[in-house]
Structure formats: C-alpha cells, structure tokens
Amino acid sequence: MHLVILIPCLNEAPTIGEVISAVPKDIPGVDQTDIVVIDDGSTDESAEIAKSNGAMVVSHPSQLGVGVAFNTGLNKSIELGADLVVNIDGDGQFNPQDIVKLIQPIMDDQADFVTASRFKDKRLIPQMPNIKELGNKFLARLISLLSGQKFHDVSCGFRAYSQETMLQLNLIGKFTYTQETFLDLAFKDLRIMEIPIKVKGEREHGKSRVARNIWIYAVNSAKIIFRSFRDYKPLRFFGILSCAMIILSLGLGIFFFSHYLQTGRFSGHLWAGFSSAFLFILGFLFFVTGLLADMFDRIRLNQEKLLYIEKKKIISNHDM
C-alpha cells in the first residue's frame, strides 16, 4: 500500500517543516509513504525547508490558486502510483498524527473519500470568528441540498482519497477545490465519510491565502459550486430557472388580466403584461437550454471516461 501525502503550500516557512516531521513514519497497512509539497509560488524559504525535511517539492512559478495546486498534487500522486492520497494543509492547523484516522475507513473498504469534520461533533468545534463559522455551516447546508446528502463540513482541507476516487476526480475550480470535490464525488455515487477531528480554528502564523476576505471567498466558492451543479445536473439547474421564470410570468399575467376584468382596459398596468410575456419567453429559453445542456452532458461523461482510462494506464504502468 503506497500512501502519498499532499501538502499545498504558499509561504508556510514557519510551519511546513514541523508538519512534514510530524507525519507518522509507521502506519499499519502502509508499505511506502511519500510526502509531496506543492509550492504555489512561495516567496519565502518554504520549498527549501520542505526539501531539507525529506519532502518532494513541485513548484509553481507563481501563485495559481489552491484548486490548481491540488490538481497538481493529484497528477503527481498518479505519476507516483499512489494507492491512497491524503491532503493536509501546511499551516499547522491539523495534526498529521490524525492521518491514520482518515485512511482507516478507506483501508477497511467503508469509504472512498474521508474528510476531517470540524462541526460534526459539537464538542470539537474550534474557536473561530462567528462569520467564518456561519459561512462554513451555510456552505455545508448548500452542498447537502444540492447533493442530496447530509454533510457538516465541506471546507476542511484535511482529507483522504482512495485510488479509485483520485482517478475519478475531475475538478475545474482554480480558487479552491473543497466544496467542488463533494459535488463531484457525490454525483458519481462514491462513498463519502466525515470523521470528527480536533483542529485549530486559527493559524498561528500569517493569514489564510484562501479566506483572507470572507466575502471574496463566499463569491468565488459560490461560482465554483453552481458551475459544478450546472455541469453535472444541467436539466435540473436550468429547469429550476425555467420554472421560476414561468411562475413569475403567470403571477404577473394573472394580475394583468385581473386588472382588465375589473376595469375593462389594459392601460395602467401594461408593464405587467409586457413583463409576463418577457418572463415566459425567458423561461421557455431556459428550458430549451436545459435540454441542450443535458445532451452535451453525455459528451462530458464520455470525456471523463476516456480521461479515467488514461489515468488508469499511468497507474498500471507504474505498478509494472
């Protein structure tokens, strides 16, 4: 069993060495462990410290985003022939000793993807600003609603993936990967498990490179989430928009004709009639768009199958 530990990193010189050193050396059932640091354009000595502590380092020439860094790490894991992949942040908020807890359900064939959860067990909720806690819980409810499953924490960066999960993951978000991963795997019917784990609520050094502004984080995360939902469930996505437009159209139409029946004239509320007609046409166009997007979804599925086969070949060649 070959385990690869991925550590995305941007200017984590004060903590990256401690995180690497704390990774368990002996894990039951694991024969080989490789640590890969994805340096996302650091301007400090993070890469040098990581190398001196025995990690492989893959460097981006400039900061490309957490989502890109994670995809770089996945590609490197496939290249290395990983059977298990664990992603852990380099800022020291997570205890590397908990890696054993994360991978155990996968090794026991109880899950395909396991994530640390800060909110599943109320006794383990870390100290953090109220706005950050509310934002995390809102995103968890949103992902639960869209995926049809119950999740408590969809933003934690401490996670474990089986080889099959790693091969099936296809993410497009550059800003972050955390919430998109849940949708991608849930829509592919892979088994997702949350493990309550005690973590630090705040970094000891520096500021988060993702959530330095909670509003920017919210907007960028929302764009990734809804793009993912649109791509995987296009008929449902555009169907909801179509229904909303048509319901509004009917409401305005009823108001418009009620006014005519009461007064015998259309003047006074012509705006309602024009708005009703416009919304009805818009609703119809959304419906047609949904049908077309649903047909294109078949093409996307075939492309993902081809990509999966190519990744599988790389793994197979490595095993040989």
pLDDT at 212: 58
Per-residue pLDDT tens listing for the chain (320 residues): 999 999 999 999 999 999 999 999 889 999 999 999 999 999 999 999 999 999 999 999 998 888 899 999 999 999 999 999 999 998 888 999 999 999 999 999 999 999 999 998 888 888 888 888 888 888 999 999 989 999 999 989 899 999 999 999 988 877 788 888 999 999 999 999 999 998 876 656 555 555 556 777 778 788 888 888 888 889 999 999 999 999 999 999 998 888 878 887 777 788 888 999 999 999 999 999 999 998 888 888 888 889 888 888 888 777 66
* CA-based torsion, 259, 265, 270, 276: positive or negative: positive
Sequence-ordered alpha helix ranges (H) in the chain: 16-21, 46-52, 66-80, 99-107, 130-147, 163-168, 178-187, 214-232, 234-263, 270-319
pLDDT at 158: 94
pTM: 0.82
Under a CB-based contact definition with an 8 Å cutoff, are residues 64 and 41 in contact? yes
Residue-wise over 8-27: b if at least 16 C-beta within 10 A, else e?
A: bbbbbbbbbbebbeebeeeb
pLDDT at 303: 87
pLDDT at 317: 78
CB-facing half-sphere around the CA of 305: CA atoms within 13 A: 6
Tokens of 98: 């908990």
Q: Which residue has the tokens 């690869």?
A: 4
